[in-house]
Amino acid sequence: MQPQQRADRLRIFRQELDELERENALQLSPEQRARLDAHIDQTLKTLTAQYDVDTTDSQRQISLGMKIASALGGLALCAAVVLFFARYMGYWPTPLQVAVLVLLPLVLTASAEWAARRETTLYYTSLLSIVTFAAFVANLAILGALFNLVQTPNALAVWGMFGIAMAYHFGLRLVLAAGLISFLGWVTAATNVWRGWWWIEFDRRPEEVMLAGLVLVILPSLMRHTKRTAFPAVYRLLGMFAIFVPMLFLSAQGSTSYLPMDARNIERFYQVFGAVTSACAIWIGVRKNWNGVVNTGTAFFAIFLFVRLIDWWWDWMPKYLFFLLIGLVAIAMVAVFKRLRGRMRIAT
Amino acid sequence: MKRPWLLAAVVVLVISNAWVLTQIAINRSGTPDSDDGPRSGLLWQREGG
């Protein structure tokens, strides 16, 4: 169990105990209560000292704000680094340009490690890691552009490896997402190159991205994440996006598919397949208790459904009737989910 | 090994940069039988003639 989860459980346990005593459902003797309170206080104090966990609701809110601020700050610093290079780099002698581009990611990696050793909650480390990843992307991209090297998709694989290594070292989900997105890009680009196409044409065959997305969804089931327990959700979320976004694309433009069928039939196939697959994702998410999978599956199910309804009804139906029907469909979906929740409650 | 992932990240950084710098060095040295100098170089120098 993560330290923060333990602290949350203890906080909720204490609140519930107060409630039970007020309702006269449970009465502890003053000695028992004092002993329990002392134990909880001591455990929370130890967790706070070791892991800097939040022990109150207001602390949790502030921590959330700090997480958002560190992510936004990291992105802003990335923009600052890139714009600084764009503005001043042309005035520098070439050896200095090369030295800065090569050394900056190394220095930033060392800084992130230095910050990680001095803090337990990794806000500054997260910020520095995002900037490090961006600096490494800028490093290879600008060096290549500067010396007119042939563009290669393998840079995406290298960025992916770097992002994943940094993410597993520091335990940062945003950097893991950046690394996995780079890998998804590389899979598509590499298959394009093998087929003799220009590697940047990501929309030529969207099914390759779907296959890579499927691998991402399955991977956490094959790899155990005992230490990085939040990482499987990132794999599944990105995998599902990599499956459903190309599916949406193919449901509108079937000519880019590998399937040996007429383009119109391919579009029909993906319209049905998208809705069925997202419904299956919801079912699997409910069974496995994966909240992210349920939410993403629901979002894509709604998108597939509403895109179809717009396609079928928008042109010929009065607009007030169209929106009325959309509202009724939404109500029907709420009813279905309510029944599903009821069944889950019975099952548990 | 104490920090394998950090080591992996640094190795990726170093090897990829070494590879890119080697490519730049090869390209800038030109080929012995070429009559138009280096095959690539600084873009603005080549464009400026």
Q: pLDDT of A294-337, one tens digit each?
A: 899 989 998 998 888 888 888 888 888 988 988 898 898 888 88
Contact indicator for B28, B40 with CB cutoff of 8 Å: yes
pLDDT at A206: 84
Tokens of A304: 């597939």
Q: Give chain B positions within 8 Å (CB) of A147.
A: 23-24, 27-28, 40-43
- B11 band by pLDDT with thresholds 50, 70 and 90: very high
Average pLDDT over residues A72-95: 86
Query: Does the pLDDT value for residue A283 go beyond 90?
Result: no
Report yes or no: A348 at the B interface, CB cutoff 8 Å: no
Long-range pairs for B3-11: beta carbons < 8 A, 24 or more residues apart: B3/A169, B5/A165, B5/A166, B5/A168, B5/A169, B6/A109, B6/A113, B6/A165, B6/A166, B6/A169, B8/A161, B8/A165, B9/A109, B9/A162, B9/A165, B9/A166, B9/A169, B10/A106, B10/A109
pLDDT at B48: 43
pLDDT at A87: 85
User: Tell me: the pLDDT tens digits for A38-72?
Assistant: 898 888 888 888 777 777 777 778 888 888 888 88
Query: Does the pLDDT value for residue B27 go beyond 60?
Result: yes
Query: Does the pLDDT value for residue A187 go beyond 80?
Result: yes
pLDDT at B43: 47
Query: Does the pLDDT value for residue A162 go beyond 60?
Result: yes
Q: For residue A234, give the nearest of A166, A183, A178, A294 by alpha carbon.
A: A178
For residue A281, with 0-12 CB atoms within 10 Å meaning exposed, 13-18 middle and 19 or more buried, which class applies? buried
Average pLDDT over residues B8-17: 94
pLDDT at A347: 62
Average pLDDT over residues A149-174: 91
Using alpha carbons, list the distances in angstroms from residue A13 to A10, A54, A126, A243, A306: 5, 15, 31, 40, 43
* B42 alpha carbon, distance to own chain's centre: 12
Closest-approach residue (CA) in chain B for A152:
B20
Asked whether the beta carbons of residue B12 and residue A148 sit closer than 8 angstroms, the reply is: no
- A291 band by pLDDT with thresholds 50, 70 and 90: confident
Report yes or no: A157 at the B interface, CB cutoff 8 Å: no
- B30 band by pLDDT with thresholds 50, 70 and 90: low
Q: What is the mean pLDDT of chain A?
A: 87
Apex CA A272: angle with CA A268 and CA A276, to 5°? 165
- B28 band by pLDDT with thresholds 50, 70 and 90: confident
Q: Give chain B positions within 8 Å (CB) of A106.
A: 10, 13-14
- A104 band by pLDDT with thresholds 50, 70 and 90: very high
Query: Does the pLDDT value for residue A255 go beyond 50?
Result: yes
User: Tell me: the pLDDT tens digits for A164-175?
Assistant: 999 999 989 999
- A348 band by pLDDT with thresholds 50, 70 and 90: low
pLDDT at A108: 94
Asked whether the beta carbons of residue A147 and residue B27 sit closer than 8 angstroms, the reply is: yes
Query: Does the pLDDT value for residue A290 go beyond 60?
Result: yes
Query: Does the pLDDT value for residue A203 go beyond 80?
Result: no
* Rounded CA separation A295/A301 (Å): 10
Asked whether the beta carbons of residue B12 and residue A162 sit closer than 8 angstroms, the reply is: yes
Asked whether the beta carbons of residue A94 and residue B42 sit closer than 8 angstroms, the reply is: yes
Stronger pLDDT, A152 or A104, i.e. the higher one: A104
Asked whether the beta carbons of residue B9 and residue A94 sit closer than 8 angstroms, the reply is: no
pLDDT at A67: 81
Q: Which of B6, B10, B16 sits opposite A158 (nearest CB)?
A: B16
Q: Give chain B positions within 8 Å (CB) of A136.
A: 13
Stronger pLDDT, B36 or A112, i.e. the higher one: A112
pLDDT at A69: 85
- A256 band by pLDDT with thresholds 50, 70 and 90: confident
pLDDT at A236: 94
Task: Please give the model's pTM, rounded to 2 decimal places.
Answer: 0.79
Average pLDDT over residues A158-187: 93
